[in-house]
Chain A
Amino acid sequence: MIDASPSLQCTLTAEACVLKPRGRWCIDHLAQIDRLLGETAVPHNLHLRVDASELADMDSAGIMLVVNRLRAQGVVWANVELVDFNPHQDTLIHLLTERLDGSPPAPPVKNAWFPSLGQRLAEWTQAMFGQFVFLGRIVEGVFEVVRRPRLLRLREFTAQLDAVGLKALPIVMLMTFLIGVVFAFLLGIQVRKFGANIFIVDGVSIAIARELGPLLTAILIAGRSGAAFTAQIGAMKVTEEIDAISTIGLSPIQVLVLPRLFAIVIAMPLLTFVADIMGLLGSSLVAYSQLDITYYTFFERMKSVLPVELVWFGLAKTPVYAAAIALIACSNGFAVSRDARSVGEFTTQTVVQSLVAVILINALFAIAFPEVGL
């Protein structure tokens, strides 16, 4: 039985140097083998013989190390005599000595910060340019559809309307109902301090109709449908389905983007309207149980303090949010490259960018129309 751990015997005679590796010269003992070879000095002027008669096993990792270390000591491999290696090992040694020319892989080149800054800037400019081109193509597509409504893919459009609108309804209702409850509860504590219980109706109805309803719905849809758009289009890009659409003579914008854009633009105000109602229901529940304001009083008061143009204003913002989300999501979907990582990367970007866009647009509306309904 041969011992498993590797060892190396080096015998010097007058005319030859004999290396006798013992044990397992395999990948699991590589560090040990490296040390053994490092400790052994091989004289250049003598004939070198490697005797494998007591070798338990030697795999390609072991052979590589022997070849590389002996070469590093100046041994010319062609002059080495191999004794008692089995035929597999013999062919492997020949193969490896042929292929290993001793050049390690060059480390990847890293740019200095200034050139890399320039590169980033160039990439960013190019990306921005790409966004504008994409926007232009979508506007072109929209005009085409307006001119010839037959071009709209009705089946895809209704499918998207279902996915974006109807299927999102339960979560939107639940979310806004709960936010209505929480908001009314906290506001209720404040108004009670002043004995101004009835003013809770003013507070919640204006806040929900003008800001909370539209904004919450947009945030939910950005996370839910925006991410889905990017992932769907991105996955289609990976499997070359988008190229297939183009080669059949269809426009990917017409087939993929416009149905999604129209669906989300139509679904968003509808969802927001439901969100407003659910938020107010939640608030009225709290107003009743916390402040003893009956439902009748609540909604009578609401009629007098919530002007209808304020509700319209809240709803009118939402198609703009929706368009922004759809554009960001679709353009990110088309930007996906053909590897697994980029689908995830661009989906993340979609969510982040569309949330930022929604909040920015909301701020713009707030600044541009500060007096609506107040």
Chain B
Amino acid sequence: MSLSSAGNLTTEESADPPILQVEDVHTLIGGQWVHKGIDFSIGRGEVVALIGGSGTGKSVLLRECIGLNRPTRGRVKLFGQNICDLSGKPLSQVRSQYGVLFQEGALFSSLSVAENVAVPLVEHTRLSPKLRNELVAMKIRLAGLPMEAANKRPSELSGGMKKRAALARALALEPKLLFLDEPTSGLDPISAREFDHLLRVLCDSLGLTALMATHDLDTLWGMVDRVIVLHDGKVIADGPVKEVAKRDHEWIRAYFSAHSGSR
């Protein structure tokens, strides 16, 4: 890592191997290098935010971590396994160990909320329907939804409830790692803070490791352990929010001052 000073700032320097390792990732999209050598790693229990201007490839990087896109060069290791080399059954096995919360929720529109949450359970476990229903009810409550929402279709839910339902589905298989793409986008400030709070509570109580791409400064200040800043295809800062906000870099200064008036 070229900016190794950032590495020391991480809160958790544990003996555990990192859960997610991104090594020298380069990505070429439409003849342009979106990523020019990105390195970072995330240890157990960290809640990390990925920030950067629009078009700096946050979402692409997130998709590469999930194994939906392949980096042009470099490696992404999840739980010590290089996800770019995996396919078929081993890939499916790694995939059942993490949950993903997509930006718009990506709930299956033809299924009710309860059925949506049950999908991963049906696919990856052999539980009896009774136990499965109990689990589904628990996840729905855990995500802070009222029980009445269970039988509703996604189209009948508000934006905040959709995100919660999607979170319940992402948590269905007891993942240790959670990826979130813009978890608070499209929510009003009150719902957004509630959702942040919910995420923080769940991360603490379930012992989750989380990587999120976000634009929301309040999320950064409120619930994130560490921030990784992408700029011009590289990681320009990596550390706790407070320290990153003090960095003397043009983009970081502009980013954090965009909100300083109210802080």
Contacts and interface: CB of A to CB of B under 8 A. Distances in A.
A337 interface: yes
B57 to A, nearest CB: 24
Contact of B135 (A61, A108, A338, A339): A61
A341 interface: yes
Interface residues of B, number: 33
B133 A105 contact: yes
Given A27-B125, A68-B134, A341-B110, A59 B205 contact: no
B174 interface: yes
Interface string A92-104: 1001100110011
Contacts of B173: 27
Contact of B127 (A31, A59, A92, A338): A31
B135 A64 contact: yes
A88 interface: yes
A88 B205 contact: yes
A95 B142 contact: yes
A220 B242 CA distance: 65
Given A99-B141, A105-B151, A106-B151, A64 B205 contact: no
A121 interface: no
B151 A60 contact: no
Interface residues of A, number: 30
Contact of A95 (B112, B128, B134, B205): B205
B138 interface: yes
Contact of B142 (A60, A105, A107): A60
B62 to A, nearest CB: 22
A64 B147 CA distance: 16
B114 A60 contact: no
Contact of A338 (B133, B155, B201, B206): B155
- Say whether chain A's binding surface is mostly helix, strand, loop, or mixed: helix
A31 B121 CA distance: 13
B13 to A, nearest CB: 19
Contacts of B112: 108
A100 B133 contact: no
A105 B206 contact: no
Contacts of B141: 99-100
B142 A99 contact: yes
B109 to A, nearest CB: 3
Contacts of B67: none
A99 B142 CA distance: 7
A100 to B, nearest CB: 6
B43 interface: no
B109 A105 contact: no
B204 A88 contact: yes
B74 to A, nearest CB: 33
B155 A339 contact: yes
A261 interface: no
Ordered nearest first, which 7 A-B pairs have the shortest CB separation? A339-B109, A92-B205, A105-B150, A91-B205, A99-B141, A64-B138, A59-B174
24 contacts: A26-B174, A30-B127, A31-B126, A31-B127, A59-B206, A60-B206, A61-B138, A65-B134, A68-B134, A92-B205, A96-B142, A99-B144, A100-B141, A104-B147, A105-B136, A105-B150, A106-B151, A107-B151, A337-B155, A338-B155, A339-B109, A339-B110, A340-B109, A340-B110
Given A31-B127, A341-B109, 15 more contacts: A28-B125, A59-B174, A60-B174, A60-B205, A61-B135, A91-B201, A91-B205, A92-B206, A95-B142, A100-B141, A105-B136, A105-B140, A107-B151, A337-B155, A341-B110
